[in-house]
Chains A and B, each alone.
Chain A
Amino acid sequence: GAVVSQHPSRVICKSGTSVKIECRSLDFQATTMFWYRQFPKQSLMLMATSNEGSKATYEQGVEKDKFLINHASLTLSTLTVTSAHPEDSSFYICSARDRGPYSNQPQHFGDGTRLSIL
Chain B
Amino acid sequence: AQTVTQSQPEMSVQEAETVTLSCTYDTSESDYYLFWYKQPPSRQMILVIRQEAYKQQNATENRFSVNFQKAAKSFSLKISDSQLGDAAMYFCAWRSGAGSYQLTFGKGTKLSVIP
Chain A residues proximal to chain B, CB less than 8 Å: 32, 34, 38, 42-44, 46, 49, 57, 91, 93, 95, 97, 103-104, 106-107, 109, 111-112, 114
With A and B bound together, what is the CA distance between A34 and B100 in angstroms? 10
- B98 CB-CB contact with A under 8 Å: yes
Interface of B, secondary structure class, is loop
Residue of B nearest to A105 (CB): B101
With A and B bound together, what is the CA distance between A46 and B98 in angstroms? 18
A37 CB to nearest chain B CB (Å): 12
Q: 7 other contacts beyond A44-B45, A57-B100, with CB at 8 A cut-off?
A: A32-B100, A38-B43, A43-B105, A43-B108, A91-B43, A97-B101, A109-B45
Residue of B nearest to A113 (CB): B43
Chain B residues proximal to chain A, CB less than 8 Å: 33, 35, 42-45, 47, 50, 52, 91, 97-98, 100-103, 105-108
B44 lies within 8 A of A112 (CB): yes
Interface of A, secondary structure class, is strand
With A and B bound together, what is the CA distance between A46 and B95 in angstroms? 13
B102 CB to nearest chain A CB (Å): 6
Question: Contact partner of B91 among A34, A43, A57, A103, CB < 8 A?
Answer: A43
B74 CB to nearest chain A CB (Å): 19
